[in-house]
Amino acid sequence: PESLILKSQTGAVRTLTFNRPAALNSFNGEMHALLRAELENAAADTSVRCVLLTGAGRAFCAGQDLSDPLVSPDAAQPPKDLGVVIERYYGPLVRRLRSMPVPVVVAVNGVAAGAGANLALCGDLVLAARSASFIQAFGKIGLIPDSGGTWLLPRLVGRARALGLALLGDKLPAEEAERIGLIWRCVEDAELMAQAQALAERLAGMPTKALVATRLAMDEAQHLDLTHALTAEAKLQRELGLAHDYQEGVAAFGAKRAPVFTDR
């Protein structure tokens, strides 16, 4: 049978595709394990300079598979410990995505619900097809937004919209998601994958270390005052200034030629 995570590579862009379309790419233990392994693999492979994440079929990802015995309540058994599920599966996945040593582009091809929505929002640049949507489905089943939702949502769209999305759990169309700043861009369905690939290739040709340091600095600055953010910027700029890609970037600029970045 086909793997639950498809892997392909074009140039320096590694594409990983959720491949459980009959269950709207909802997560079971096997899909978790495969995705984690493929992200580790991409992180360790120096031929990879950008990861592109998408879904097969009509959905991006419907979150946790609610029929999985790991989480599905069963009157004949003791209650399931969802804390363990979050700590073992979703937390590590979110941390892995947010600390990838290369930029992460997400192409949301269809509905992204529950953990599927928040994993999509972990991307550095999130594109969504016009027919795609985002649903903070957790509240409807008596849970809170996990997979970083409580951290990500207020930072992306502010408290008022974050709570509106999380408490109501309504379907947010891609166009609206772009309008309120939840994602980078909404694009026509037919153009999603070409545009995502082009964006990923563009990022893959850029100074990877600087891109990743930018993500890191912005995430860290969220809990710093300006003075400490400036100190953190100086530390990162010091490191980047010693790296090859800075020399190359400035040399290429001076020579009016295209730069060739190699640091990772």
Interface residues with ligand T3D (CB under 6 A) are 23-24, 26, 62-67, 71, 82, 85, 111, 113-115, 135, 137-138, 141, 143, 146
Nearer to ligand T3D, 141 or 260 (CB): 141
CB of 29 to ligand T3D, least distance (A): 11
Mention every residue, 6+ apart, whose C-beta is less than 8 A from residue 83.
none
Phi-psi region of 263 (alpha: psi -120 to 50; beta: other; left: phi over 0): beta
Q: Provide, rounded to whole angstroms, the least separation between the CB of residue 116 and ligand T3D.
A: 6
Give yes or no for a contact between 63 and 116, defined as CB atoms under 8 angstroms apart: yes
Taking the least distance from each CB to ligand T3D, the nearer of 111 and 210 is: 111
12 vs 166 by CB, closer to ligand T3D: 166
Considering beta carbons, is residue 63 or 148 the nearer one to ligand T3D? 63
Least distance from C-beta 26 to ligand T3D, angstroms?
4
Torsion angle, alpha carbons of 191, 192, 195, 201, to 10: -140
- Residue 24 or 48: the one with the smaller Cβ distance to ligand T3D is 24
Least CB distance to ligand T3D at residue 220 (A): 26
Q: What are residue 125's DSSP bridge partners?
A: 105
For the bound state, the minimum distance from the C-beta of residue 120 to ligand T3D, rounded and expressed in Å, comes to: 12
Contacts of 117 (CB under 8 A, 6+ apart): 63, 134, 135, 136, 137, 149
Please state, in angstroms and rounded to a whole number, the distance separating the CA atoms of residues 180 and 157. 6
